[in-house]
Amino acid sequence: DDGAVLKTAHASGRRLSEELAVLAEQHGLPLQLRGVSSVFSTSFVPATAEPVVDMRSVQQADAVLLQKFVMALQERGVQVTSFGIWFVSTVHSEQDIDETLSAASEAFAELGAGQCD
56-105: pLDDT as tens digits: 888 889 999 999 999 999 999 999 999 999 999 999 999 999 999 999 99
Q: What is the mean pLDDT of residues 24-45?
A: 93
- More confident: 58 or 24: 24
Confidence (pTM): 0.89
**pLDDT at res. 94:** 94
* Average pLDDT taken over every residue of the chain: 91
48: Cβ–Cβ under 8 A, 6 or more apart, which residues?
A: none
Q: Minimal CA–CA distance to 108: which of 46, 36, 25? A: 25
Residue pair 40/85 in contact (Cβ under 8 Å)? The answer is: yes
**pLDDT at res. 117:** 45
- More confident: 3 or 67: 67
pLDDT value at 31 more than 50: yes
| Alpha-carbon gap, residue 110 to 2, rounded angstroms | 42
